Structure 1
């Protein structure tokens, strides 16, 4: 019976999904606030599919004030580095779907 456990776990993951897959489907906290300006056809352009590094670098630059902005600098200051990375990773992964 012990040998069957890994097989059963793998089968359950295929049938019911894994926590990681479910988490990837939901945006992290804060990401939904980005879609108002960064949606399909919006003037600011889409974030989906941009590289994680590009998004993180932009958020860091807005937060530090090295990248000029009228609004994004204030928005970026609302996210810490970990939240920025989670948001960036989620948007980067959306382009791969």
Structure 2
């Protein structure tokens, strides 16, 4: 792995950590935008997939795939493109710890 790639990844982690430290409600607020389709705290009981409690790695991969257009969707690819990688990480961190 090239040095600039490793540094970029490290900066993303630091930025997400800094964002969480600055506003502990940020992840919750970002994840709240998912509620209209995926239920409160991602706990869907309907036709939409349940996000609450899925593994962080799985949720992160799905969101990255939506954002990159690699995963078929009717609207999620558009929604995912509206978030930065740091915001996606915060959303995923929050939803993966819900039950």
TM-aligned CA deviation for residue 94 of structure 1: 1.1
**TM-score, normalised by the number of residues in structure 2:** 0.66
**TM-score, normalised by the number of residues in structure 1:** 0.67
> 2:81 — aligned with what?
77
> 1:37 — aligned with what?
37
Point out where structure 2 has 5 or more consecutive residues left out of the alignment.
1-20
- Cα RMSD (Å): 1.9
TM-aligned CA deviation for residue 27 of structure 1: 5.7
| Contact preservation (8 Å) 1:52, 1:89 | yes
TM-aligned CA deviation for residue 45 of structure 1: 2.2
SS of aligned partner of 2:51: coil
Point out where structure 1 has 5 or more consecutive residues left out of the alignment.
1-19
Q: Which has the larger radius of gyration?
A: 1
Aligned length: 73
**Cα displacement string for residues 27-68 of structure 1 (whole angstroms, at most 9, x for unaligned residues):** 624211111111231211221100111111011000000101
Runs (4 or more) in structure 1 with deviation over 4 Å come to: none
> 1:94 — aligned with what?
98
Q: Which structure has greater helix proportion?
A: 2
